[in-house]
Amino acid sequence: MTFTHDDQRHERLGMPEAIVCQGKDDASVNLILTELIAKPDCPTLFTRLPQDMFDRLDSALTNELDYDSLSATGILHGPLPKNSGSIAVVTAGTSDLRIAGEAKRTLEFSGFSTSLYSDVGVAGIHRLFDRIDEIKTHDVVIAVAGWDAALASVLGGLVAQPLIAVPTSVGYGVAEGGGTALNSMLASCGQGVLVTNIDNGFGAACGAIRMLNQLKSSD
């Protein structure tokens, strides 16, 4: 097997180099690690690298990674230089932290500053109101929620910032797999709420990076 890296991505799009580990076998990830460890000028984010896969990989390789188990991410040759722009990552419940973490790590790897506001789901809406003024001080807001994902709709009516909604697969029954959260976010009455695939914290971060890069380029 050979591995064809799209190594023009960062230059072309300003987007972080990233490797999705899920769906690859251990041998492939070891091979990719080997190739990229040898390229110190190519900082790379490894996503969807869960602890059990991490433990099975060649430790001589994984020792090179700045690894975070909760978000299942590893950073190689990073982070990138500091960028201006700050992002609020807001979650409905503690079970959403895995995906919120993926977004946060992607942004931090890319040099942006982030703040996490967790456990502010709308079933106890006073928790959200307690923190809404602080949330509004950021350039972009990322809302991460499973179940009915009502958080995105309520936030959509409270903040004027760009708002990216990430549905999570958290929940059982009709919520299982995240389809209800996804549809709820797409059908949100909050104007201009933009949505990613289920559990795609990385994609939400990339969407925010596109905005923040544009902000910078238009200065």
Q: What is the footprint of a copy of itself within residues 44-103 (CB under 8 A)?
A: 48, 70, 92-95, 97
**Torsion angle in degrees (nearest 10) through CA of 76, 52, 206, 110:** -30
Ramachandran angles phi, psi of 102, nearest 5°: -60, -40
Among the listed ranges 33-41, 58-66, 72-80, 196-204, the one in contact with a copy of itself (CB under 8 A) is 196-204
Task: In angstroms, give the least distance from the CB of 34 to a copy of itself.
Answer: 15
Give the footprint of a copy of itself on residues 100-119 (CB under 8 A). Answer: 118-119
Measured from the Cβ of residue 189, the count of other Cβ atoms closer than 10 Å reads: 9
Binding of a copy of itself at residue 133 (CB under 8 A)?
A: no
The burial of 185, by beta-carbon neighbours within 10 Å (0-12 exposed, 13-18 middle, 19 or more buried), is given as: buried
| Chain centre to alpha carbon of residue 38 | 26
Closer by beta carbon to a copy of itself, 56 or else 214? 214
Task: In angstroms, give the least distance from the CB of 181 to a copy of itself.
Answer: 8
Closer by beta carbon to a copy of itself, 63 or else 189? 189
Tokens representing 46 are 């490894």
Task: Tell me the one-letter amino acid at 160.
Answer: A
Comparing CA positions, the residue from 161, 156, 157, 155 lying closest to residue 138 is 161
What is the Cα–Cα distance from 201 to 208, expressed in whole angstroms?
11
Contacting residues for 5 by C-beta, under 8 A, at least 6 apart: 17, 35, 36
The DSSP bridge partners found for residue 18 are 45
Give the footprint of a copy of itself on residues 15-34 (CB under 8 A). Answer: 15, 18, 22-24, 28
Closer by beta carbon to a copy of itself, 65 or else 107? 107
Number of residues in contact with a copy of itself under rule CB under 8 A = 97
Task: In angstroms, give the least distance from the CB of 63 to a copy of itself.
Answer: 24
Give the footprint of a copy of itself on residues 136-195 (CB under 8 A). Answer: 139-140, 147-150, 153-154, 156-164, 167, 169-195
Among the listed ranges 7-15, 33-41, 57-65, 74-82, the one in contact with a copy of itself (CB under 8 A) is 7-15
Site string for a copy of itself, 198-217 (x = CB under 8 A): xxx-xx-xxxxxxx-xxx--
Helices within the chain (DSSP H only): 9-13, 26-37, 51-56, 59-62, 97-109, 126-129, 132-135, 150-156, 179-186, 201-217
Closer by beta carbon to a copy of itself, 63 or else 143? 143
The single residue among 56, 125, 134, 137 that binds a copy of itself, judged by CB under 8 A, is 125
